[in-house]
């Protein structure tokens, strides 16, 4: 359950950015999670709910998270062959290029990123 640590980082990143933009209430957060990470969307959602629940501690930084929603975009695992440059979706856990039989590079699916947030 390292998703809690990831969501603590998310809140830090967003609160810092919100203060820089004079935003005091967060309404929506969108993150990108690749399928080759060990982060589970359900666990991220749960951690987000727990950490943004109104409590005496929340709002101590002057940021209101009440009713903020988390949106998760999942990214498929894509690989590219260094030989023929063909890109292919990895769904059988094999990173070998079927044409050249060479190991391909993962080009997508390792993302754990904050995309944007909305607030006022």
Partner 1 sequence: MKVIVAQDLLEANDGIAGRNRLRWDSLGTLVVNLISAPGAGKTTLLEQVLEDVSRDLAVGVIEGDIYTCRDAERIARLKVATVQINTKGACHLDAGMIERAWQELELQCGKRLDLLFIENVGNLVCPAEFDLGEDIKVALLSVSEGSDKPAKYPLVFHQAQACVLTKVDLLPYTDFDLGAARQEIFGLNPKVAMFATSAKTGEGVEDFCRWLRQQVQVKREKKQDYDQRQG
Give the CA diameter of the chain.
60
- Chain centroid to CA 52: how far? 16
Among 46, 51, 72, 95, binds partner 1 (CB under 8 A): 95
Structure tokens at 83: 């030989």
Stretch that binds partner 1, among 14-22, 51-59, 61-69, 80-88 (CB under 8 A): 14-22
Q: Whole-number minimum distance, CB 56 to partner 1, in Å?
A: 23
If one asks whether residue 50 binds partner 1 (CB under 8 A), the answer comes out as no
Cβ closest to partner 1, residue 13 vs residue 53: 13
Residue 48 burial by Cβ neighbours in a 10 Å radius (0-12, 13-18, 19+): buried
If one asks whether residue 96 binds partner 1 (CB under 8 A), the answer comes out as yes
């Amino acid at each position: 359950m390292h998703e809690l640590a990831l969501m603590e980082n998310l809140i830090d990143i967003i609160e810092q950015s919100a203060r820089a933009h004079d935003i005091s209430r967060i309404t929506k957060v969108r993150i990108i999670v690749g399928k080759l990470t060990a982060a589970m969307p359900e666990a991220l959602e749960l951690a987000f709910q727990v950490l943004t629940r109104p409590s005496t501690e929340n709002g101590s930084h002057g940021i209101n998270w009440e009713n903020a929603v988390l949106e998760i975009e999942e990214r498929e695992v894509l690989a590219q062959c260094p030989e023929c440059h063909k890109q292919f979706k990895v769904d059988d856990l094999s990173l070998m290029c079927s044409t050249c039989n060479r190991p391909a590079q993962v080009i997508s699916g390792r993302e754990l990123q904050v995309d944007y947030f909305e607030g006022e």
